[in-house]
């Protein structure tokens, strides 16, 4: 299957700082990438849909000014958690959809964010 | 709106035996896809199997099979000959295949089932 990478895999930051998480599709192009958040032993909650060359679409209740998403190319989307607080600590997972293949969607390995 | 329900928070199975993980769904879309993912403790989401709503036959992938009952809106995952490495969290998910719909491309996940395989 296709490969999606995320960087960093783990990050610890201080409250009030910003953190950027990268999601890359390594061997395919993805016009659409998705960002999820997951709490321990819970389900994945979709935060936003990232579209290449246009603004991201955020799910209800997700603050777009706090979770900045940029999809600058067909292989890269970034999520920036601005002014992070301890309640932002979570596991963030991205996924990328293969162009023209509705059922093919691949996930990155996730990024564990801890805000102290 | 789409909804996925997994009613089994945890399941236990003996090694080499088969296990069924339940999944029911609700959608008003005429065309949709159903997925199962495995998430080990490392956190990565591993795609297991896919079933399209118009597929006539139940999907199979190695030891995984999907028992698709459209009228009952269920898409249970059957794992045959369980292995210790199957211990993980399993998620059922669905996506609308209706092009242009507001839910197109978005995966909706169930609550997950933690499967533990005993030796």
Interface contact A42, partner B, CB < 8 A: yes
Q: What is the pLDDT of residue B91?
A: 98
Q: Which B residues, 21 through 80, put their C-beta within 8 Å of a C-beta on chain A?
A: 33, 35, 37, 42-45, 47, 50, 52
State the smallest CA–CA distance between residue A61 and chain B in angstroms: 16
Q: What is the pLDDT of residues B61-117, one digit of tens each?
A: 999 999 999 999 999 999 999 999 999 999 999 998 876 655 567 899 999 999 999
Q: What is the pLDDT of residue B97?
A: 81
Q: Are B107 and B33 in contact (CB under 8 A)?
A: no
Please report, to the nearest 10 degrees, the dihedral formed by the alpha carbons of residues A27, B62, A38, B97 taken in order.
70
Question: What is the Cβ-side half-sphere exposure of residue A40, based on CA atoms within 13 angstroms?
Answer: 3
Q: Return the number of CB contacts < 8 Å for A and B.
A: 56
pLDDT (mean) for A72-85: 94
Predicted confidence (pLDDT) at residue A31 exceeds the cutoff of 90: no
Q: What is the pLDDT of residue B102?
A: 52
Would you give the distance in Å from CA B80 to the centre of its chain?
A: 14
Set of chain B residues whose Cβ sits within 8 Å of the Cβ of A102: 33, 95, 97, 105
- Which letter, b or e, does each residue of A73-108 get, where b requires 16 or more Cβ atoms within 10 Å of its Cβ? ebbbbbbebeebeeebbbbbbbbbbbeeebeebbbb
């Amino acid at each position: 299957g296709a490969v999606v990478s995320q960087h960093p895999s783990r990050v610890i930051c201080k409250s009030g700082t910003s953190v950027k998480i990268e999601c890359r599709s390594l061997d395919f192009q993805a016009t659409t990438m998705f960002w999820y958040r997951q709490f321990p032993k819970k389900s994945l909650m979709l935060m936003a849909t990232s579209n290449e060359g246009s603004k991201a679409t955020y799910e209800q209740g997700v603050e777009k000014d706090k979770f900045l998403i940029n999809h600058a190319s067909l292989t890269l989307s970034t999520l920036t958690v601005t002014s992070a607080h301890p309640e932002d600590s979570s596991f963030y997972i991205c996924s990328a959809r293969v162009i023209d293949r509705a059922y093919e969607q691949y996930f990155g390995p996730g990024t564990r964010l801890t805000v102290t | 709106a789409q909804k996925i329900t997994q009613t089994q928070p945890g399941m236990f199975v003996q090694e080499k035996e088969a296990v069924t993980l339940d999944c029911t769904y609700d959608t008003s879309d005429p065309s949709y896809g159903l997925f199962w993912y495995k998430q080990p403790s490392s956190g990565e989401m591993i795609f297991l199997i896919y079933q399209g709503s118009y597929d006539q036959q139940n999907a199979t992938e190695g030891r995984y099979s999907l028992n698709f009952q459209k009228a009952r809106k269920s898409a249970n995952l059957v794992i045959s000959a369980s292995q210790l490495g199957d211990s993980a969290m399993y998620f059922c998910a669905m996506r609308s295949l209706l092009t242009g719909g507001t839910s197109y491309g978005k995966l909706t996940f169930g609550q997950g089932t933690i499967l533990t395989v005993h030796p």
